[in-house]
Structure 1
Amino acid sequence: MGTAERRDAPEAGAAERPARIPDQVGPERGTPARTPGGERAGRQRAAYRPLWVEEPSRRRRMADPVRTAAVRAVLIIAVTLIQAMVAFLCTLAGSWAAFPMVISSVASTVVATWAVVDVWVTRQVWNQRYGVVSEPSSTARQLRRERRVARRRERTARRDQERIARRAGTKRLSHP
C-alpha cells in the first residue's frame, strides 16, 4: 500500500482527524487549489490538516523486562561515555582528577558491558518463557502434533472398544 492509499484509507483514529475537503489541495502536493476567497483562504483551510498521521509500527513492541534492561543499559553506556570523555580531557589538561577518572571509566566500562549482556540474556529468557516459535520445523510444534495424533488414536481405540462391547451384549440369549 502506497503513501497515498494509506493517507486516504479509513483508520481507527479517523474520527479524531478533521475531514479532508477535496477542493483544498490541488493536483500537486501541498499546493492550495484556487478558491473564491483567493489563495489566502485556501491556505487557512489547509492549515487544519494534521502534521502527521500515526501508522501502526511494523515491529512488535519489546517486552517490559527487556525494555527496562535496554533503558538501563543505554543510561549506563551514556554515563560511561561521559566519564571516558572527562577522563580524557583531564589527562590532556594534566589535572589531578585524571587518574581517578580513568579508574572509574574502566570500572564503568565493565558495568556497561554487563548491562548489555543483561539485555541480551533478558531477551533470550523472555523469548524462551513466553515466545512462540511459529516455524514449521519447530520442536515444540512437532511435539504438540505428535501428542495430538496420539490422543486421537486413543479416542478412536476407546470408541472401537465400546462399540465392540455394545455389540457383544446384544447377541446374548438372556439379559441379566
Structure 2
Amino acid sequence: MDTDERRGEATASRAADAIGATGAVDGRQLWVEEPVGRRRMADPVRTAAVRAVIIASVTLVQAMAAVLFTLTASWLAFPLVLSSVASTVVATWAVLDVWVTRQVWNQRHGVVSEPSSTARGLRRERRRARRTARAAGRAASRIRRRSANRLSEA
C-alpha cells in the first residue's frame, strides 16, 4: 500500500467520522487542550533562563566574529578574542544563576514531593512495625488490667 493511498483512506475515514448518521457535520472541537506533563517554570527562573540564553547567544556570535576577524588578519581580532573570553565567563555565570535561582525558588516555595517506590516501601514497613507495637502494647495493658481485676476480686 502506497503512502498516498493510506492518506486517502485516512482522509476518507476522517470525513466519515465528521459526518454523522444524519448527514450533518459533527460538532467536534477544532482545538483540544492536552494537559502538559511538566509545570511552567517560576517567573524568576524563567527570567534568569532567558537572560542566560541571550548572553550565551551573544557570546557565540562574538566568538564567531573573533574567528572570522582572525582569519582575515584584522586588527579587531585581538580585542574581540579578549572580550569573547570575558563574555564566556559571564555566560557561565548566567547559566549558574539559572541553577541557583531554581534551587532558591524550590527551597522557598516548596516542591511537590513524589517519593520513590523504595521510600514508599520503607514508610509502609515502618507503619506496620508501629501498628504491631501499638497492638502489642494494647494487648499487654489488657492483660495487666485483667490480672489486676482478678487480684482485686480475690
TM-score range, shorter chain: 0.5 to 0.7
Across the aligned residues of Structure 1 and Structure 2, the Cα RMSD in angstroms comes to 4.0
Count, aligned residues: 128
Q: Are 2:58 and 1:79 equivalent residues in the alignment?
A: yes
| TM-score, normalised relative to structure 2 | 0.56
Number of the residue aligned with 1:155: 134
Number of the residue aligned with 1:168: 147
Number of the residue aligned with 2:8: none
**How far apart are 1:51 and its partner, in Å?**
6.8
Q: More relative contact order in 1 or in 2 (CA 8 Å, sep 6+)? A: 2
Q: Are 2:27 and 1:27 equivalent residues in the alignment?
A: no
Q: Residues of 2 paired with 1:94 and 1:134: CA distance?
A: 59
Gap runs ≥5 in structure 1: 1-25, 31-48
Number of the residue aligned with 1:61: 39
The 1:150/1:60 distance shift into structure 2, 3 A limit, reads same
The 1:89/1:130 distance shift into structure 2, 3 A limit, reads same
Number of the residue aligned with 1:97: 76
**How far apart are 1:82 and its partner, in Å?**
2.6
Q: Residues of 2 paired with 1:164 and 1:110: CA distance?
A: 74
Q: Residues of 1 paired with 2:17 and 2:60: CA distance?
A: 44
Q: Which has the higher helix share?
A: 2
Q: Residues of 2 paired with 1:50 and 1:171: CA distance?
A: 78
The 1:171/1:142 distance shift into structure 2, 3 A limit, reads same
| TM-score, normalised relative to structure 1 | 0.51
Number of the residue aligned with 2:21: none
**How far apart are 1:92 and its partner, in Å?**
5.1
Query: What is the identity, as a one-letter code, of the residue corresponding to 2:15?
Result: P
Q: Residues of 2 paired with 1:108 and 1:158: CA distance?
A: 68
The 1:149/1:56 distance shift into structure 2, 3 A limit, reads same
Q: Are 2:93 and 1:106 equivalent residues in the alignment?
A: no
Number of the residue aligned with 2:49: 70
**How far apart are 1:109 and its partner, in Å?**
2.0
Percent of pairs with identical residues:
59
The 1:174/1:50 distance shift into structure 2, 3 A limit, reads closer
Q: Secondary structure at the match of 2:135?
A: helix
Number of the residue aligned with 1:42: none
